[in-house]
Structure formats: C-alpha cells, structure tokens
Structure 1
C-alpha cells in the first residue's frame, strides 16, 4: 500500500482534532471574557468599555495582524522538504516589523485621532503605549505558535493560550475590584537566513492581509477616525458585537485556522486539479462540502433563533442598559451577519489555500476596491441608520467575498467529478423546520408584552422544542453530514499529531 495514500486521511484527523481542542479552548476563553465583561460593567463606565474594546483593542489587533498574518499564511504552506530553520528565521522578522507598526500606529492614536476627555477617560496615553508594547511582547512567541500549528501540537497550543487568558482575567478582576478608579490603566496592565520563495509568498499575503484587516475591522476604523458614534454607543455596539460573534469566534475561527493547514497539506498551491493526486482532491472536496454544510447549519440556526431571543439574551447579560434601545435590533442584524461570516470563513479558507501567488495578487486588486467601497458604505450607512449601518455594510462586504470564493471553487472543480458546493443545498424538510421555528418563536416573542416569568418560561420552552425538532430533522435528512461530524469531531479515537 502506498504510504502517501493515507496522508490526506491523517491530515484530516489531525485538523479535526485541532479544531475540536481549539473550539473547546475558545469556549472557555469566551466564557471567561463575557463573565469578565459582565463583572467590569458593574465597576467601570460604558465609555471606558468603549475606549478599551473599540479603540485600544483595535490598535492592538492592527499591530498584530499587520505584523504576523502574512507570515502565518506563508509559513503554514511549508512542506516536509522545507528546512524549518529558514522558516523560523523568517518568522523572527515579525518582531522588528511589529516595532515599526507599533511606533507608527501609537503615534497616530495619540496625535491624529480625537483624545477622550481626561475627566471622563483618564490615562488614555498610558493605555495606548501599554497596548502597543503588549502587541510586541506577543510577537515574540510567533515562531513557536507557527511551529505548533504546522505540526498540530494541539495540547501545547491549548495550554499556552489558556494560561495567558486566565492570567489576564484574574489580573483584571483583581485590579477592577481593588482600584476601579484607575480605569484604562487596569486593562493596559492586563494586556501586557531567509528562504526567497517563502519571503515572496509572505509579501503576497502581506498585501492581502493589509486589505483584509481593513475589511475585518473597518467599522472600528470608522468609529475611531470619523467619530460617527460617541464612546457610550461604541461600548454598547462592541458588547453586542462580541455577544453576536461568540459562536463565530469559538467555532468558526478554529475551523478556518485548522482546515487551512489541512488544505495546504493536501493540495498543491497553484496547480491545476488535473496535475494533482485524485485521491487528495477527492478528500479535499468531501471535507470542503461537509465544512460548508456544518457552518451553514450553525449559521442558519443562529439567524433563525437569534431574532426571537436577542432581547432576552441581552437582558440576561447586561440588564436594561443593553436590552433597551438599539441593542436588540443590533444583535438581530448581527445574527444574520454571522450566517454570512460562517460561509465566508470556510470558502475563503479553501480559496486562499489553493490560490497561486498570481491569483492572490489579482485578488488583492479586487480587495482594494472592496475596501474603499466598504469604508464608504460604513460611513454612509452609519450616518443613515446608526450602529446598524456597520452591520449592513459588513453583510454587503461578506456577500461580495462569498460570491468570489464560490466562483473560484466552482471553477477549480470544473473538470472534476467532485461538487463540494452542494453543501450549500438543504433538503426541503429541513428548510420547512427552520421556517416553522422562525414563525413560532417570532409570534412567541411578540406576545411577551408584560415580560412575566411565566411568559418568559413558555417562550424559552417553545424555543427549546423548535431547536430539538430542527436537530432531529438534521439527523434524519443529512446522514452523510452526521457521519462526518461523529467520526471527525466526536470520535474518541483521534490522535494528536
């Protein structure tokens, strides 16, 4: 038996194991984060939350994204014949690059954007410097992160990230409890020989990463530089954004990261499908079909049930400050955005793993136009519809990106018997189950006029019954999908690489 024949199967098992562990880690991390946010809301103002979670976190994520994202994508394409010493040498360039970005962006955050009122938000300058320094410190671990991800060292990655998150949460809680008047200082303290071909690929992904960052964090840039929302509204938007993206962060992101590694290991970048091993192509197509089905079903479930239970979720989490006003409509719109986000994550994951350098360059040109259009739409729609405009702009952005990825995937498998995009098709009984659930829960939500305990209990019970019906329908109408989930994500036999 050909030893190479089992290579895609081993890669699939490793990717599924990495996804499962990463998803579990993300659940714990997000649970801690939301408990922390719920706790700090009792001690600090929503304006402080807005400055930290929008402006300073944007600074932090921008430095990290522009310094390491391209290196991650390029270096995870390394094959068995590649000398890892060269890869590590390339990865260390993230640190000086991060220093340059930190100096430039901290200067912009201090000089070119509106400084918060010191009486309302003290220690803003300290926060900017501390968040910039903490990003540089995190970049020091980048070579180890890429090595762990490429070799799928699941437990090492989970343990390291868990320790970092727990330490941050404990420090923040202690500081908020002891000295809540410190404001931003508390959050700031808690944050705290090259291969030419690989370098060229890194530069290609670097240009793409810069544009992707604009599309990913575009609303925060508009908030920061154009002041379309006050800090209080920014705080509410960020809390709703974090709550709405909970599943996207703890499930969709691990899937995207893990299976990007799987696709680059199984497929040869830039090669026509006819010049690759057909077993590898078939496995990749099957996995892509099942992943598209998985995220579609999760996203559709969130969109259907999110409409009727957004207000209840916000009331439980943050009280009337979140459940009144624009909070519920923001979360309802965000649930629809999560559906688009889910499909885009998996389809782009495959697309970026299969594209040649030239195709990535052409895609970058399209991203330039898309970035400019997105920023313009964000500003106009926010001026017209308030914070909801940001979500509408994001939905349009995701729609264009999904269309491009679907077109690429369709063309990629044009001369193959494999049709992975059938994963987007749902059987009629399942569609009817979703439609019936949406109608029943919407009527139940509309009848909650007094918000009494009995009415709320009935509302929750109806939602639970509808969800069970949907899950049972999935089980009987999607046997291939159920088998894939059981064998790849729920099986106890998966080996750690």
Structure 2
C-alpha cells in the first residue's frame, strides 16, 4: 500500500470515526443529562470515579502496551504470533482485576451502605466487565491494522448508547437497585462491544471471497485463537520486548491520565459528592477531546507507524516518506491548535450556560463553572499533546522509549504531589491545574524529539504551531466580546437573554472561522486533498 493510500485510509478512518461518534455521543449526551436529574452526587462519584477507575485501570494495564506494539509491526509479520501475544491480555486482565478488586474492597474507604448500597457487587462486576472486554482484543487489533473504518466506531458508539439507554430505563423503573443498575449496564456494554467484533469477523470470514478482498491474514475464526505452529516460536520476541517497553510507559501514562482519580480515591481529598461534580464536569469538558482528538490520534498513529521506521532518523529514510509525515504532522498540529484555541476562547464565556442546560443547578452552581473554564484551557494542551505524542510514539526507537519512561516516571511523581498540594489549596480546580502543568511538560518533551528528528532535513513540521497575527487578533476580539456578553446577558436574566448571548457567540465564532479560512490557506489545501483521498479510499474498500 502506497503512502497516499495509507494516508487516505487514515483520513477516512478519522473523518468517518468523527462523524459516527458525534451521532452516537449526542444520543448518549442527552441520555446522561436526563439521568443526572435522578441521581445524587454521591452515587455519581462512586460510579464515575471509584468503579470506573477500577475498570479503566484494569483495561489500560492489560492491553495498552499490546495494542501499541502490535500495531507498530510492518506488513511482513507472522500474524499467528501477534495474535498469540494479544491473547495474553486475558490472563493479564484477570490478574489485574483480582488484585485491584481486592484493593478496592479491603483497602479503600467503603461508602455508607444506607446511602450507596451494593458497593461490593459493583466492584466485582466492573472487574469482570474488564476481563470480558479483553476477549475482543485480537479482533480490535485486526480491525485497526487493516483499517476497517466503521467497525470500531460503530461497535464502541453503539455499545455506549445502549448502555446509556439501559441505565436510563433502570434508573426510572428500579431506582432502589442502586449500584446494581450501573453494574448491569457496564457488563452489558462490554458484552455488546465484544459481540459486535466477533459477529463482524464471523460474517466476514464466513465469506472467503470477502475475506480475500480484505487481504486478511486469517481465513477462518479458528485462526484467531491461540495456536502453536511447528518449527516456529509461540511469540515474536521482538514484539514481546517492544510490548514490555510500552507497558512500562503505559503504567506511567495511566497515572498521568487518571491521576486525579487516584488522588481522590486513595487520599480522600474530596468527598463522594464533590467527586461526582468534578467527574461530570471533567467528562463534559473532555467531550470534544474524545470526539475529535482521539479518533485523529488513533488513526494517524497508524499512518506514522506504517510510514516511518523506528530505528532511523529523518535523514536515513525514504525522503518521500519523511516529507509525507512532515506535511501531515504540520497540518495536524495546526488543526489541533485551532480547535483547542476555539474551545478555550468560547468555553470561558459559555461554561455556566452549558452546565445549567446539561445538569441543572447541581452543576451550574458552586464550583462547576470554574472547573469547566479551567478545563477549556486544559483541552488546548490536550489537543496539542495528542498530536505530538501520536508522532513521537510512532517514531521513537525502543531505546528512546525506554529513556522516555524515566521522564514519565518523574512526571507521574510530580503530578501526584502537585495534585495533592493544589487540591488542598484551591479545591478540585487544583486537579486541572496539575494536569495543565504536566501536559505542558509532555508537550515540551515531544516537541524536542520532533525538532531533533527533523533537524537534518529541510522539513519544519513544528511551523504548524504558528498562527497569523490577524487570526490571533480575531480570537482575542471574540474572547473580549463574549466575556462582556456573558456579564450582560447570562445567566440569570432568563431564556431570551441567554439566546441573545448564544447569538453573540455564534456571530463571533463565524467571524473567527472565516478569518481562519482566509489566512490558513495551506491547511485548507491539505484538508481538501485529504478529503479527496478519503473519498477515493472509501470507493476502493
């Protein structure tokens, strides 16, 4: 597959993923807003912080390193060895589920059973759901490696939407079930997710002609299961060593990603009610990151991993590949910067209104608006970091990954300390400030790597982080106008004033985007080119 074809597939994967996720996430968004009006802050805190942390930690530690390592290999590989390696995620998941479940049950503070019943059942079922999800890991990697555009997004989004529907029905019909509701919904979600993958591949491999057209390395479902071949090793040990390198990095990355939840869970800096408010605001603030940045990061990580060779710098590779990677990286940085700035500028003036619409007075009063405004700044850093690390992790050699782990270790330690100190000083906002600090350090590390990587070549992809003065002026003017509009029109003056505030924001947003369209001509040409490549890739698949 040529670079253009790979890029077209990656662009189509990102754009299609974005579109489908928006549709399903909007459904989930509405359902969650409905559910929040029937729940206490305490149960939201237990489910969304304590139990979800158990599930996400188990999943992350069991599979993240395997995913990155197995997606980094070239086309010429023994897929039976790769699949054998991926099946190791299941026993590893069982180990982490049992260990973490024991800690959650016996080490951590247990909630009052009169306020939040069935906590033990929730721990057991959330741990079990993590193991169930790992059963679909080989199918997920096969789908990603062969760029099955719609499967991942449809499977995940549909499962999330069905979980929200089930939760809403049970909350209305059987509210006394407590944590049974969320435990059942979580297990249903993971089972539905795995069944989507298994069902798709069962149908695909049941048609030999279709499987042949997709150039799959397996021809029947039995080929996906673990196998021992004569005359070859059970595992590809180079892949296994790379997995170990990624595992050390993933362990530290998990602390950075979920650090505030670990501090809340193990150090008890916030009560369960405050944890619930913080988590809802955090999920709302990260909605754009999940909808836009995550599909882009996952899709273009595959592009960079396929185009670049890990053990060589830019001067020792095919210059066509290096140029393509540089062009894509520069454009992705520009997209991330523009998206992040837009969210930061307009998020400050519309945070309180968004929280009031989404969750009512429970969110829009108190610390909620300040939290969301702070999170808007964090989203800007999150956007840039997603793109820079996407490239960095795809281009680093094994030795560089190992060295990077030491940096991540220092970041993890400093983040935990800083989170604790800042939270004691300024409440839950301290978590976001600590995240901003650590994200800035991670961005700096990645920028240094990218600069060093392209130092001997004529390409300068970091130019994507520069905007024209005219566009920066448009952002600054929009920030000032919407801030004044919020003071005069929102949010206690009723819905006519609120609608006027929204109208002002829409006008400023349109003017800013129009300025971007006129000033960022190079980016517009790139996006048009990739849209054409995406359509062409879609026509050939």
Fold match (TM-score > 0.5): yes
Q: Shorter chain as normaliser: what TM range?
A: over 0.9
Cα deviation for residue 489 of structure 1 reads 4.3
Partners of 1:492 and 1:96 in 2: CA distance = 38
2:49 corresponds to: 54
Aligned match of 2:495 in 435, 449, 453? 453
1:41 corresponds to: 36
Instruction: Note if contact 2:423-2:431 (Cα within 8 Å) is conserved in structure 1.
Output: yes
Structure 2 counterparts to residues 351-370 of structure 1, below 5 A? 351-370=392-411
1:132 corresponds to: 127
Tell me, what secondary structure is at the counterpart of 1:13?
helix
Partners of 1:494 and 1:428 in 2: CA distance = 36
Tell me, what secondary structure is at the counterpart of 2:537?
coil
Aligned residues: 492
Aligned match of 1:413 in 435, 440, 454? 454
Partners of 1:55 and 1:487 in 2: CA distance = 45
Q: 1:256 to 1:492 in 2, by over 3 A?
A: closer
2:376 corresponds to: 335
- 2:285 counterpart of 1:290: no
1:3 corresponds to: none
Cα deviation for residue 166 of structure 1 reads 3.2
1:16 corresponds to: 11
Deviations 1:106-147 (A, max 9, x none): 001001110000011100000000000000000000000001
Deviations 1:277-333 (A, max 9, x none): 000000000000000000100000000000000011111111111111111110000
Cα deviation for residue 7 of structure 1 reads 1.3
Aligned match of 1:474 in 516, 521, 537? 516
Tell me, what secondary structure is at the counterpart of 2:172?
helix
Cα deviation for residue 458 of structure 1 reads 2.1
2:182 corresponds to: 187
Partners of 1:445 and 1:150 in 2: CA distance = 47
Tell me, what secondary structure is at the counterpart of 1:495?
helix
Aligned match of 2:431 in 390, 404, 414? 390
Partners of 1:160 and 1:352 in 2: CA distance = 26
- 2:125 counterpart of 1:113: no
Partners of 1:411 and 1:372 in 2: CA distance = 27
Partners of 1:149 and 1:492 in 2: CA distance = 16
1:202 corresponds to: 243
Cα deviation for residue 25 of structure 1 reads 3.0
Partners of 2:369 and 2:427 in 1: CA distance = 14
Deviations 1:387-436 (A, max 9, x none): 00000000001000000000000000000100000000000110000000
Structure 2 counterparts to residues 28-427 of structure 1, below 5 A? 28-192=23-187, 193-427=234-468
Deviations 1:330-383 (A, max 9, x none): 000000000000000000010000000000000001111110000000000000
Deviates more, 1:299-308 or 1:78-87: 78-87
What is the TM-score of this pair, normalised by structure 1? 0.97
Instruction: Note if contact 1:116-1:124 (Cα within 8 Å) is conserved in structure 2.
Output: yes
Partners of 1:171 and 1:43 in 2: CA distance = 14
Cα deviation for residue 242 of structure 1 reads 0.7
Cα deviation for residue 453 of structure 1 reads 3.0
Q: 1:460 to 1:423 in 2, by over 3 A?
A: same
Deviates more, 1:96-105 or 1:453-462: 453-462
Cα deviation for residue 37 of structure 1 reads 1.9
Cα deviation for residue 492 of structure 1 reads 6.6
Deviates more, 1:48-57 or 1:38-47: 38-47
Cα deviation for residue 491 of structure 1 reads 6.9
2:223 corresponds to: none
Partners of 2:265 and 2:76 in 1: CA distance = 45
Deviates more, 1:477-486 or 1:72-81: 477-486
Instruction: Note if contact 1:44-1:183 (Cα within 8 Å) is conserved in structure 2.
Output: no
User: Which consecutive unaligned segments of at least 5 residues does structure 1 have?
Assistant: 1-5
Instruction: Note if contact 1:17-1:494 (Cα within 8 Å) is conserved in structure 2.
Output: no
Tell me, what secondary structure is at the counterpart of 1:353?
helix
Q: 1:493 to 1:311 in 2, by over 3 A?
A: same
User: Which consecutive unaligned segments of at least 5 residues does structure 2 have?
Assistant: 188-233
Partners of 2:55 and 2:429 in 1: CA distance = 25
Q: 1:187 to 1:139 in 2, by over 3 A?
A: same
Deviations 1:178-231 (A, max 9, x none): 101111110100111110000000000000000000000000000001111111
Deviations 1:65-87 (A, max 9, x none): 00000000000012111011111
Cα deviation for residue 156 of structure 1 reads 2.4
Deviates more, 1:413-422 or 1:175-184: 175-184
1:493 corresponds to: 535
Partners of 1:328 and 1:11 in 2: CA distance = 42
- What's the Cα RMSD here? 1.3
Cα deviation for residue 176 of structure 1 reads 1.3
Tell me, what secondary structure is at the counterpart of 1:493?
helix
Partners of 2:531 and 2:109 in 1: CA distance = 47
Partners of 1:111 and 1:180 in 2: CA distance = 27
Deviates more, 1:127-136 or 1:38-47: 38-47
